[in-house]
Chain A
Amino acid sequence: MTAGGRRIAAACGIAASYAALGLAAFAALFPLFWTISTSVKQRADTFALPPRLFDFAPTLKNYEAILATRGFGQIFLNSIVITAAATALCVAVSTLAAYALARSPRFRSRGALEVGLILTRAVPTIVVMVPLFQIISRLGLYDSHLMLVFMYAAVNIPFATWLMTSFVAQVPPALEESAAVDGASRTAILWFVVLPLILPGMAATTIFVALLTWNEFLIPVMLAGNDAKTLPVFIAGFISARNLDWGPMAAASTLAILPIALVTVLAQRKLVSGLASGAVKG
């Protein structure tokens, strides 16, 4: 191949790369665009063929309908409060376990804990739901916010512990040893030496767990009634009740998705590096 030919081939390669990435980005974002655009369409425009991409008169009617739905404020608040509490609980518990797993190669329950965490990650939640539904109903905990917080935290502990372990392992043990030599107590070392260094990792883990909790559907659809209902259950409720109400449905979906889109854009780098450092460790 001549030098000129090679240059043309390289240019074509670059153009093809951009084209492929552009196509992927389009495929990734189109359903999101379509949700948002459906949420601001009149009913007639929703069903128009050919589909109206941009040429329609936008309306906020669908949002008004959703916001006026009885109990919607409570549902939205439930989602926020339960997500915040469960995420905090999950990250706290996981960080403690991660420190143990990263620092002590041979504590007594280590082997069993590793088995337990992997199995908990692998066993589908529906399996434990069959007996849990009975147990929780009998204990009178059905539809309780606190029970949901506990459940949400539990299902995300394996993932969060796995991620946090890789972050703790990145902190050189020498730092803790030298602080111990200087006479710092164990609590002081954990609080003033380790914690500041793993804070970025905890932030990334928090974002991931918060997303998973916000999106969780199986647990609330089975264990929450009207009091503790969360946003995904509310959205799913549209299917059976009003199958053709795509506008309000899209508005509700948009309200669930927008906070996530915001977090993604703002915390993108943290998410990617967080997953990357956890991922490579396996």
Chain B
Amino acid sequence: MRPSGSVERETRRLAELLVVPTWVFLLLVFAVPILGAVYLSFRNETLGSFVAPRFIGLENYAAALADPRFWEAITTTLFLMVAGLAVQLPIGIGLALLLHRNLRGTQLFRTAIIVPMLLTPVAVGLMWRFMFDTDFGIINWVLGGILTDPPNWLGSRWPARFAVVIVDSWQSIPFVMLMVLAALASLPKGPAEAAAIDGAGPLSIFLHITLPSLVPVILVVVMIRVVDVVKLFDIIFIVTQRGGPGTATQTLGLLTYNTGFIFFQTSRAAALGILLTIMVLPIYVLWRRVGRSA
């Protein structure tokens, strides 16, 4: 038998080898382009411009930060994040608690509820767009029976933002629910049973025993959702046609897209992308911390 030190060294050497393909992908598809974006962001490249591109220092960054659309995009992104979590967390946790009771036949409900998570966002986005239609949409037909003046979902500012929150929540509640459900399944039953014997009601058992032990998984969910709202692209692209009406649902990602590929200001878009990357960096620190505690 070989000494364990040499086995460990051998495993380590094997590990170095096994991660080589992953490194190739990460470098080619992420590291190189991000360096490319930094380079572009210091120049003034615009598609179809007659001026020869040159280095202009930090001008793109200054222009981006001075643009009110940039700050509007930040508030829009934050709104989608906060409003989304306010909808998704309570509903997702609530559904997980209900399914965790394991009532007869609830497997079937679980299957039905996770379906939206898996469907093509572009396809369901189109269908929601049809359902939100002011004239022919089924949503306003239903609301017309209750409200005298149902919202013009995709045609005015705040309703459009809520429409994006609704579609995003519809697709991500199943994810929240599954994560919480998995955490519930791994909780020890003892403490809750002991509290019930001591006469605690279901509500106080939930508040004082179940909820505190769910905190780690909820933090993970919040973090993943924050990252995914920053990345959210296809739903906004489809449902509100690239951030409309006007700039009402234009998140930072959509602003970067529109700047680079609708207005062809390549260098400005690169600068926006770098600013966006700098803003997601703190998430990385949180991720490590939460990952460790969970």
Residues of A within 8 A of B (CB): 14, 17-18, 20-22, 24-25, 27-29, 31-32, 34-35, 38, 46-47, 49-51, 93-94, 96-97, 99-101, 103-104, 106-110, 113, 115-135, 150-151, 153-155, 157, 161, 180-181, 186, 211, 214-215, 217-218, 221-222, 231-232, 235-236, 238-239, 246, 249-250, 252-254, 256-257, 260-261, 263-265, 268, 271-272, 275-277, 279-282
Contact = CB atoms under 8 A, between A and B. Distances in A.
Contact of A21 (B95, B170, B237, B283): B95
Contacts of B238: 236, 239
A35 B252 CA distance: 30
- Interface on chain B toward A: helix, strand, loop, or mixed SS? helix
B204 interface: no
B294 A157 contact: no
Interface in B264-294: 266, 269-270, 273-274, 276-277, 280-281, 283-284, 287-288, 290-291, 294
Given A124-B230, A264-B114, A275-B182, A51 B18 contact: no
A38 B15 contact: no
Contacts of A96: 18-19, 21-22
A101 B11 CA distance: 11
A122 B284 contact: yes
26 contacts: A24-B112, A35-B127, A96-B18, A96-B21, A99-B18, A100-B14, A113-B19, A119-B281, A120-B30, A123-B34, A124-B230, A124-B256, A127-B256, A128-B273, A131-B34, A131-B36, A132-B29, A154-B30, A157-B26, A222-B261, A231-B120, A235-B122, A249-B130, A253-B124, A257-B120, A260-B119
A279 B119 contact: no
A35 B142 CA distance: 17
Contacts of B103: 14, 17-18
B37 interface: yes
Interface size for chain B: under 10, 10 to 19, 20 to 34, or 35 or more residues? Answer: 35 or more
Nearest to A275: B178
Contacts of A268: 111, 114
Contacts of A272: 110, 114, 178
Interface in B233-261: 233-234, 237-238, 241, 252-253, 256-257, 260-261
A275 B179 contact: yes
Contacts of B269: 130
Given A35-B127, A261-B115, A236 B237 contact: yes
A49 B120 contact: no
B28 interface: yes
Given A24-B91, A235-B122, 9 more contacts: A31-B124, A97-B19, A113-B19, A121-B227, A122-B280, A124-B253, A151-B29, A186-B14, A260-B120
B126 A239 contact: yes
B1 interface: yes
Contacts of A118: 284, 287-288
A131 B37 contact: yes
A123 B14 contact: no
Contacts of B233: 124-126, 217-218
Closest 7 CB pairs of A and B: A131-B36, A276-B182, A100-B15, A253-B123, A104-B15, A127-B273, A282-B294
A239 B241 contact: yes
B146 interface: no
A24 B95 contact: yes
Contacts of B116: 28, 31-32
B126 A104 contact: no
A29 B284 contact: no
Contacts of B23: 109, 113, 116
B94 interface: yes
A257 B138 contact: no
Contact of A282 (B31, B123, B290): B290
A127 B277 contact: yes
B147 interface: no
B33 interface: yes
Contact of B16 (A108, A180, A253): A108
Contacts of B274: 127
B208 interface: no
A100 B185 CA distance: 29
B206 to A, nearest CB: 13
Contacts of A186: 10, 14
Nearest to A233: B122
A17 B256 contact: no
A31 B170 contact: yes
A100 B101 CA distance: 39
Interface in B132-164: 136, 138, 141
B87 to A, nearest CB: 12
A119 B91 CA distance: 29
